[in-house]
């Protein structure tokens, strides 16, 4: 019991029989309970306030099992559980075992096996059998007796109840086997259609030097070359085919050079200004200053990034 329940506006303060309002969730349905004495049992509230009379009042002291219900999946005697404490729980009663056409499988098995004589213990027995088969799909004789030992039948119909347990277990096992057999005989699902080549290429990772780049080229729309301005004020240059020699006049005399790619400025480093970038100097005799008599070529070191290679190294 929470203070919230005890102190609701309708609860008279100082009353020796405080009341509370709460909602019970019974068989998946929200059932509000208003101004109920907090000492009322769940069995009483179900029967007298909510009209669910399936659970029977046999002893009101937890001896007979006629009031058996499930609270959060646990089989309990409804006569021993204060209803207000079950406000946040899932409650299952014998009414929830009914099938679409009336009696559920367990109830029908009890009837078929002759377990129902006067019928007063039958709802509690049905809940006990249902709870047992939820926990154990194939209970043995001893397990079934242990599970039902809390349900007293004044008409002494226990053999029928035990037979009903085995009948329901057999029926469910047969239904499962039939379902599995049907699933095995069902035609296999057709294999998924092969994705189109374009879809395959789109799903595969692309790596530099991979031939997939060439396939990907077919998937990427052509970009306007030399026309699309970028934020930096220059445009994408068209990419020349591999092996295309760079015109020597464009390298040596950029001011008068003919732009071989149709782009005025297309390198972050700017146009080549003819400067020789070398890390090793050269002597006046035409040899590199490496001490090995290497003829000086003018480009005896790796130029910085963005610097055009000379013609002889680019060929
Ligand atoms: Fe609850 Fe008998 S009425 S056990
Ligand atoms: Fe009568 Fe069980 S059938 S009490």
Q: How many CB atoms lie within 10 A of CB 309?
A: 14
Which of 62, 94, 126 is at the close of a domain?
94
> Residue 294's pLDDT is what?
53
- Ligand 1 centroid to Cα of residue 40, in Å, is 14
Instruction: Please tell me whether residues 113 and 40 are part of one structural domain.
Output: no
Residue 237 resides in a domain: no
* 246 Cβ neighbours under 8 A, 6+ residues apart: 260, 308, 309, 311, 314
Strand duo 90-92 + 19-26: pairing: parallel
Instruction: Please tell me whether residues 160 and 108 are part of one structural domain.
Output: yes
Instruction: Please tell me whether residues 21 and 88 are part of one structural domain.
Output: yes
- 0.75 surpassed by pTM: no
Say how many residues make up the chain: 315
Instruction: Please tell me whether residues 87 and 106 are part of one structural domain.
Output: no
Residue 82 resides in a domain: yes
64: domain CATH number is: 3.10.20.30
Residue 167 resides in a domain: yes
Which of 164, 181, 198 is at the close of a domain?
181
Instruction: Please tell me whether residues 151 and 123 are part of one structural domain.
Output: yes
Give the number of domains in the chain: 2
> Residue 302's pLDDT is what?
52
Instruction: Please tell me whether residues 85 and 131 are part of one structural domain.
Output: no
Tell me the ligand closest to 115's alpha carbon: 2
315 residues of the chain, pLDDT tens digit each: 455 555 555 555 665 789 999 999 999 999 999 999 999 999 999 999 999 999 999 999 999 999 999 999 999 999 999 999 999 899 999 999 997 778 999 999 999 999 999 999 999 999 999 999 999 999 999 999 999 999 999 998 799 999 999 999 999 999 999 999 998 888 776 677 776 666 555 554 544 444 554 555 555 555 555 444 444 444 445 566 666 665 554 444 444 445 555 444 444 444 545 554 444 444 445 555 555 555 555 444 555 566 565 565 554
Instruction: Please tell me whether residues 117 and 87 are part of one structural domain.
Output: no
Pocket probe mutation, ligand 2, options 118, 129, 148, max atoms within 8 Å of Cβ: 118
Tell me the ligand closest to 158's alpha carbon: 2
Atom of ligand 2 nearest to the CA of 117: 3
Helix boundaries (H) for 149-223: 158-185, 197-203, 212-219
Q: What are phi and psi of 236, to 5 degrees?
A: -70, 130
Using H for helix, E for strand and C for coil, what is the string for 140-159? CHHHHHHHHCCCCCCCCCHH
> Residue 186's pLDDT is what?
82
Residue 154 resides in a domain: yes
137: domain CATH number is: 1.10.150.120
Partners of residue 102 on adjacent β-strands: 99
CA distance 103 to 97: 7
Instruction: Please tell me whether residues 87 and 117 are part of one structural domain.
Output: no
Domain that holds residue 90: 16-94
Residue 102 resides in a domain: yes
Atom of ligand 2 nearest to the CA of 155: 1
Instruction: Please tell me whether residues 84 and 148 are part of one structural domain.
Output: no
Residue 232 resides in a domain: no
Kindly state if the Cβ of 289 falls inside 6 Å of ligand 2.
no
Instruction: Please tell me whether residues 83 and 107 are part of one structural domain.
Output: no
Q: Which class for 279: exposed (0-12), middle (13-18), buried (19 or more C-beta within 10 A)?
A: exposed
Which of 44, 61, 94 is at the close of a domain?
94
- CA neighbours within 13 Å on the CB side: how many for 286? 0
> Residue 102's pLDDT is what?
86
Q: Which whole-number Å values give the CA distances from 309 to 14, 142, 249, 258, 301, in the listed order?
A: 98, 92, 13, 17, 11
Kindly state if the Cβ of 121 falls inside 6 Å of ligand 2.
yes
Residue 242 resides in a domain: no
Atom of ligand 1 nearest to the CA of 60: 3
Strand, helix or coil for residue 19: strand
Atom of ligand 1 nearest to the CA of 57: 3
Residue 44 resides in a domain: yes
Instruction: Please tell me whether residues 40 and 113 are part of one structural domain.
Output: no
């Amino acid at each position: 019991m929470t203070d919230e329940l005890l102190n609701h506006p309708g609860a008279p303060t100082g009353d020796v029989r405080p009341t509370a309002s709460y909602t019970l969730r019974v068989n998946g349905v929200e059932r509000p309970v208003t101004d109920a004495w907090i000492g009322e049992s769940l069995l009483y509230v179900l029967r007298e306030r909510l009209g669910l009379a399936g659970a029977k009042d046999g002893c009101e002291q937890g001896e007979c099992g006629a009031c058996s219900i499930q609270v959060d999946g646990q089989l309990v005697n409804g006569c021993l559980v204060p209803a207000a404490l079950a406000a946040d729980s899932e409650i299952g009663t014998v009414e929830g075992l009914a099938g679409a056409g009336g009696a559920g499988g367990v109830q029908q098995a009890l009837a078929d096996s002759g377990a129902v004589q006067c019928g007063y213990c039958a709802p509690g027995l049905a809940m006990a059998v249902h709870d047992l088969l939820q926990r154990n799909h194939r209970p043995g004789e001893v397990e079934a007796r242990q599970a039902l030992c809390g349900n007293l039948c004044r008409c002494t119909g226990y053999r029928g109840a035990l037979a009903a347990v085995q009948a329901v277990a057999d029926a469910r096992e047969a239904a499962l086997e039939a379902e599995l057999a049907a699933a095995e005989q069902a035609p296999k699902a057709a294999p998924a259609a092969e994705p189109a080549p374009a879809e395959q290429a789109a799903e595969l990772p692309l790596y530099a030097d991979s031939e997939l780049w060439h396939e990907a080229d077919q998937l990427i729309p052509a970009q306007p070359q030399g026309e699309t301005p970028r934020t930096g004020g220059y445009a994408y240059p068209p990419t020349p085919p591999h092996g295309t020699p760079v015109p020597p006049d464009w390298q040596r005399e950029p001011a008068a050079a003919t732009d071989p790619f149709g782009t005025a400025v297309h390198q972050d480093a700017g146009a080549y200004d003819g400067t020789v970038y070398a890390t090793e100097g050269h002597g006046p005799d035409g040899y590199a200053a490496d001490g090995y008599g290497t003829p000086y070529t003018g480009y005896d070191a790796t130029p910085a990034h963005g610097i055009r290679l000379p013609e002889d190294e680019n060929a």
